[in-house]
Structure 1
Amino acid sequence: MTLPLLLTILVFGVLPGSHSTVTTVGDLAVLEGQSVTVPCHYNPQYISNVKYWCHGRMIDFCSSLARTDDPKSTPQSKGRVTIADDPTQHVFTVSMQNLTVEDSGWYWCGVELGGMWVADSTASLYISVIQGMSVVSSMVSADEGRSVSVQCRYSKNLRSSEKRWCRSGNWNSCVSTDSEGTFSSRNVLIHDDKNSLFTVTLMQLEMRDSGWYWCGAGQQHVAVHVAVTPQATTEATTEVTTSPIQNLKTTIMTSSIMSSNDPHSRPVWESPLMVGGVVLLVMTAFLAVWKLRKQCKKKQKHQRTNEMNDNITMCPWREGDYKNASVIFLNTPAQQLQML
């Protein structure tokens, strides 16, 4: 192996990040006085290795702020930095409290690999500590008639400033906290914790309250959008839709029952008097037919015995009898002569 190639391997072997197996988040911006937590992920083979967090532009000259092997051995952190390793997830986390503008700069997640010719595995990010304001959520929503809260964060230099809540585009709508850090009205309530956060609560929301607002402190402000949604009307619509149908069914059933119990509303053929009359008429017709048939039979008997004189006998009871009816002429003097 040639000497230049060997030197190249040695140089790249000791460069920071040449064996990088650690990853972290991108650059961060944090309000002054706030806290930040940074996750540092590493490969499983480095579970037992020491992890550390340091501050500086270059890894070789950075100031150690926290180590997993001796968290209390870093007086530069002044108790504001903590580090914790989670071997099961292969990640260690670093938390920094009460940040100041002076804390802005480059930071490094590091895993000690050991050895004079082997560089530690590291990952860097830049943290900007700024003065100003931010909101926990820039888009909030609530139903009409209900309440919604907006949390506004501010930096350390704004702690003594009054806090404001305004509707965007209407400076006359602004309301401010008093010396106690509070404001109260029928629809707006503001409470300042005097440290880093004030909360605005909008009550009894109406549809016209939808729009852009901003919370401010000193010369800083940040925009928030409030969306008011109509109240749920599904149940009310269902009741309005089904109620008339139910009433209609009830009315129809009631009318049917009343009609069946009202004697004046019955059809003519259901009247007891009419039924009785029909039955009587049928019985009368039956008796008349029966009597007529009996008389017919009696007359036929008299015809057979020749007791009728010069009479025409016709009994139209049945169609066959009517067709077979005959005319008999009786000559009484002739009969008497024959008998002599």
Structure 2
Amino acid sequence: MDLKCLLFIFSFIRLSGAQDITTVGQMSVQRGQSVIIPCLYHQKYTFSHKYLRAGYFWLLSDYVESSDQRCHGKSVLISDDTSRHIFTVRMDDVQKSGYYWCAIQVPSAFDKRATFFLNVTADSPRLHVNSQSVSGSEYGSVTIVCYHQGQSDVKWCKFGGQCITGASGLLDGASVDIRYGLRNMTVRMSRLTKENMGWYWCSSEDLQMPVYITVDENKSFESPVMAESVQVSPSPRRRTAILFLLPVILEILLIIVIYSALRLFKFCKNRFVQSVTEAEESQYVTMHRKQSSRSYGCAAAEGVYENMTGLKTISEIPASSQKSTRPPLVKKTDLSNVSLGDPDYVNVLKS
């Protein structure tokens, strides 16, 4: 096997899988300091296992750390941001230079990987920043100072995106203003939005220095455009709240209407039943009075009839009975119905 074949195999083994994962090419850090390296991967590997290896040759590299910390080291930590498809490697107290591999485990295939070189220096690094993490408020601004040693072609780039090579430009809607000095580059990003949150880097020749920008929501500030739009039409959140509350309000009103209707129906029903009951009672009293007067009239007529019958009985006493020496017996009931002024009654008493 000749030298060309060996170089081809070496290049294939070294570069295989580098298309689905990217990272910095080379970083410079002072000995004993900490450094964070971002590794950008394809979204199809969101739930795959991520890990770090150390060594120039992939097949001979050493397993250092994993995303699930199955082999947790004291000075290395891997964090996976699945929403942005970036996992970061934090290395503390670095002591020596070397090659490292950001890798993703792929079952039944070659693992995806990308290599970077970490250059550890005793003096100030060739390219560095004061902090790898800066934060700003929404619609506000942030300033990053990249220190170098007079290198040319210093740029400001978004990780996995475009670079600003001139004095100004735009990155995802944010305004970028750059001032170049002899040994530094000052970058100011203004009118920040949530889309501007993520990893950026200073780039100079073969060196990169990653910087993470955090954008916090600022409720006290509104741009003129937003304020004007709020006056014209409600915000989406407010419209959503209105659309959510409208059915609830309608249901409450419907319940109130139904309840009022039922109360009114019950009231009318009770009034109707009460009026019917009063009418029936009045009719019953009237009929009872008529029946009472009719019964009283019948009783009076029966009394007169009994009186007349008693008188008739007295008047029809036979003459033979008058010869008797004993006066005839008269029923007490008959005498009670005979008037004292009646002549027949007087005659009877005399005889």
Q: Which TM-score band (shorter chain)?
A: 0.3 to 0.5
TM-score, normalised with respect to structure 2: 0.33
TM-score by length of 1: 0.34
